[in-house]
Amino acid sequence: MEYTLWARGLRRHYGSGPSLVRAVDDVDLAVAPGETVGIVGASGSGKSTLLHLLGGLDRPDGGEVWLAGRRLDGLSETAAARVRRRGIGFVFQAFHLVDELTARENVELPALLAGTSRRAARRRAEDLLERVGLADRVGQLPGRLSGGQRQRVAVARALVNDPGLLLADEPTGNLDSAAATDVLRLFGALRAEGRTVVIVTHDSRVAGTADRLITMRDGAFTDETVLGRPAAGSAALAGLDL
Domain enclosing residue 117, as ranges: 5-230
32-36, 50-54, 76-80, 226-230: which has the minimum mean pLDDT? 226-230
Q: Which tens digit of pLDDT belongs to each residue from 215-229? A: 999 999 999 999 865
Distances (CA, A) of 20 to 16, 47, 134: 4, 17, 46
Q: Is residue 235 part of a domain?
A: no
In the chain, DSSP assigns E strands to 5-14, 21-31, 36-40, 62-67, 70-71, 88-92, 165-169, 197-200, 212-217, 220-226
What CATH number should be reported for the domain holding residue 72?
Answer: 3.40.50.300
**What residue type is 62 in one-letter code?**
G
Q: Is residue 239 part of a domain?
A: no
Helix (H, G, I), strand (E, B) or coil at 3: coil
Pairing of β 36-40 and β 197-200: parallel
Q: Is residue 91 part of a domain?
A: yes
| Helix 147-159 with 177-192: angle, nearest 10 deg | 20
pLDDT(187) > 90: no
Mean pLDDT rounded to a whole number for the chain: 89
Q: Is residue 236 part of a domain?
A: no
pLDDT(238) > 70: no
Q: Is residue 241 part of a domain?
A: no
Q: How confident is the model at residue 55 (pLDDT cuts 50, 70, 90)?
A: very high
The pLDDT of residue 227 is 85
The pLDDT of residue 232 is 35
pLDDT(230) > 60: no
Q: Is residue 178 part of a domain?
A: yes
Task: Name the region of 96 (left: φ>0; alpha: ψ -120 to 50; beta: rest).
Answer: left
Instruction: Tally helices (H) and strands (E) across the chain.
Output: 7, 10
**CA–CA distance, 224 with 206 (Å, rounded to integer):** 16
Residues 6 or more apart whose Cβ sits within 8 Å of residue 178? 148
- Portion of the chain with pLDDT greater than 70, in percent: 93
Q: Is residue 242 part of a domain?
A: no
pLDDT(233) > 60: no
Q: Is 167 exposed, middle or buried (0-12, 13-18, 19+ CB in 10 A)?
A: buried
The pLDDT of residue 236 is 32
pLDDT(83) > 50: yes
Q: Which tens digit of pLDDT belongs to each residue from 128-180? A: 999 999 999 999 999 999 999 999 999 999 999 999 999 999 999 889 888 88
Q: Is residue 82 part of a domain?
A: yes
Average confidence (pLDDT) over 47-75: 94
What is the value of pTM for the model shown? 0.89
Number of folded domains in the chain?
1
